[in-house]
Amino acid sequence: MLDGTSRFTCKGEKIYHSFRTSTFTEYTVVPEISVVKIDAAAPMDKIYVISCEVATGYGAAVHSAKVTPGSTCVVFELGRISSAIVMGCKASGASRIIGVDINEGKFPRARALGVTDCLNPSNLKKPIQEVVKEMTGTSVDFAFEAIGLAETMVCGFGSQ
Ligand SMILES: NC(=O)c1ccc[n+]([C@@H]2O[C@H](COP(=O)([O-])OP(=O)(O)OC[C@H]3O[C@@H](n4cnc5c(N)ncnc54)[C@H](O)[C@@H]3O)[C@@H](O)[C@H]2O)c1
């Protein structure tokens, strides 16, 4: 727990919480800050798989960036966090979503979620930000970087 204590024991031995939540257990105790009330009408058989990347990614697009209808977005990486970013961009009405990933195996699902253009930086002869600017004619309205690399963050800033 946040105060260093634990609520779990096994055969008398203290067990520490996993990531302060231990949500793989049937019952758990979590800090109040880790609890979010969900809509009573939400289908439990679908939402139980939603984890932190959905709130992080979707929230980044919808609440933090406030993506606007008709806008153009670029999303660096097409894994878990960015899949939620893409869903947030699409739900906000973005008309063009450019996805960047070095693993082209991620492209089909990304397209199914709403990515309109997929780029593999390994196949490009120019820096990604230059290619993105050429594709859009100017720049993108919103750039998201979820890889966590300084190099791709610079590409994100450069695409705007
Ligand atoms: N999933 C979470 O909830 C969560 C929570 C906290 C932090 N993070 C961090 O966020 C980052 C992304 O997490 P994720 O769950 O989306 O990861 P993921 O493994 O699902 O996806 C990462 C993607 O990044 C791509 N990639 C790696 N290097 C790249 C590069 N140089 N250029 C373009 N694409 C590149 C990979 O091919 C992969 O598709 C990680 O650093 C992770 O530690 C994730």
Regarding pTM above 0.95, the answer is no
Topology, domain 52-158: Rossmann fold (3.40.50)
* Spans of all domains in the chain: 1-49, 52-158
Q: 20: buried, middle or exposed (CB in 10 Å: 19+, 13-18, 0-12)? A: middle
**Cβ count near 155 (within 10 Å):** 23
**Cβ count near 116 (within 10 Å):** 16
Whether residue 50 has its Cβ less than 6 Å from ligand 1:
no
Give the closest residue (by CA) to ligand 1 atom 25: 77
What is the pLDDT at residue 50? Answer: 81
Query: In this predicted model, what pLDDT tens digit does every residue of 9-62 receive, in sequence order?
Result: 999 999 988 888 887 788 889 888 888 888 999 998 988 778 788 989 999 999
Residue 76 CA to ligand 1 center (angstroms) comes to 9
Query: In this predicted model, what pLDDT tens digit does every residue of 106-143 receive, in sequence order?
Result: 999 999 999 999 999 999 999 999 999 999 999 999 99
Whether residue 60 has its Cβ less than 6 Å from ligand 1:
no
Residue 101 CA to ligand 1 center (angstroms) comes to 10
Distance CA 57, CA 38 (A): 18
